[in-house]
């Protein structure tokens, strides 16, 4: 089954500090998960302030700068994995370096 790992953290944390800390172990995590055959794709995202939110209301396209959600926690990246069950997906997520900085939301696909 496929799972999306959403890498989230407090947006007030300076991006470069979080990025440096996360990158210190991301390459090793990626290599391990590729070797295990569970990683299907992974990438970091640009800061939330660079987002464009798209909504359609009454057939009119509405654009907003920045993220739609008004929250301090924002998605900073994601990984798509394929695991046998939720227990394996949680084990994979718990090994991601981002789990030590923020949180990793595991969502079935």
pLDDT in tens, 94-107: 999 888 888 899 99
CB burial string 7-17: b at 16+ within 10 A, e below:
bbbebebeeee
Using only the alpha carbons of the chain, give its radius of gyration.
15
Q: Where are the domains of the chain?
A: 2-108
Model confidence pLDDT, tens digit, residues 2-57: 999 999 887 666 555 556 656 678 889 999 999 999 999 998 888 878 888 888 99
What confidence score (pLDDT) does residue 102 get?
85
Which superfamily is assigned to 2-108 in CATH? Dimeric alpha+beta barrel (3.30.70.1060)
Q: Model pTM?
A: 0.80
pLDDT in the model for residue 90? 97
Whole-angstrom distance, CA of residue 70 vs CA of residue 5: 21
Residue 63 has pLDDT above 60, yes or no: yes
């Amino acid at each position: 089954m496929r799972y999306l790992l959403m890498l989230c953290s407090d947006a007030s944390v300076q991006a470069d500090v979080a990025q440096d800390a996360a990158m210190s172990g991301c390459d090793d995590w990626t290599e391990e998960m590729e070797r295990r055959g569970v990683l299907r794709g992974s990438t970091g995202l640009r800061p939330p302030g660079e987002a464009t939110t798209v909504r359609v209301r009454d057939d009119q396209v509405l654009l907003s700068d920045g993220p739609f959600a008004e929250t301090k926690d924002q998605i900073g990246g994601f990984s798509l994995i394929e695991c046998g069950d939720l227990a394996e997906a949680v084990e994979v997520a718990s090994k991601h370096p981002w789990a030590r900085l923020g949180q990793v939301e595991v969502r079935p696909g």
